[in-house]
Structure 1
Amino acid sequence: MAQNSARNTLKGNQTRLRYLRNLILGSNLSYILLRMILRKNSYTVVQFLLWLISVLLTASCYFFLYDAAKPTFDKGTLIDGGYDISKEGWMEYCHDIIYICCFSTILAIFSQKFWYTLLLIPTYALYSVICLLISPTNPVSSSKKPKKLVTNEHRRR
């Protein structure tokens, strides 16, 4: 039973990583071919730096997912299928960063202004931190629980 679960996790991770790799390569190769080569007369250093930032972000997120999904083998038998990278949390954030960067890269072929969509990443990170600090489930803010008021109605019972 556990062996079957590990096999399913391994197959799911391999499929997901193959999809992300093709998405990253497809968007970046399209950008290189259509923007850097065919429209090189309108290409600037700023655009190259923004593309480089996008590539570094996608590569770091992809390799984080790749490392988390590494299976464990013992003498050729599968012990662990790796961490399931389709789960919520950090893995989900890495997927979102990859999607935003690929979206920006593809649309930046047509207009330089689409690089502004990369600002969604730090904006969402700031929003998450603020929500975490303000959240009522935060242990720091929930340590001072309001005292329960006892009314005359409750005393009669």
Structure 2
Amino acid sequence: MTSTDAGFSLRMPTWARVWLVVFPLLVVALLVGPLPLRGDPGVPLQVLFVVAVTALSARMWVMGAEGRADGRLVVRNQLSTRTYTREEVAGAGIGRERGCCRAVVLELADGSSRSLDATLRPLHLFDEGLQRELALVQRWLDTR
């Protein structure tokens, strides 16, 4: 998480980024185990599973939000990347996302909302960090 007068950049917290490296290794080690010998029909399925877990983790690694000095906000969520202008964002707050998690949520001018997946936090853990991230987004919005 960084901030400048011109904008801000949010990334997943360090503990989550470490978990993104550890989790795929655990999945592969525990569920896949050693790859079967060549010619075994299980090889393609196991290889696809390893590739899918790696791709998911890689996409999560780049999740974030970047408020730029030119008035654009680039949001890289788990399954999509979208760019907003300041005029498209009416406000920001903290909302409940995906069951028991909380995240910074953009309130868009068209009445819809969009969470910043990089800010997802389980339960009420790490609320202080969530408040800091919300403050960065609001400060960027206030420069209109």
TM-score under structure 2 length normalisation:
0.33
Judging by fraction of residues, say which structure has more strand: 2
**Structure of greater relative contact order (alpha carbons < 8 Å, 6+ residues apart):** 1
Instruction: Name whichever structure is richer in helix by fraction.
Output: 1
> What is the TM-score of this pair, normalised by structure 1?
0.31
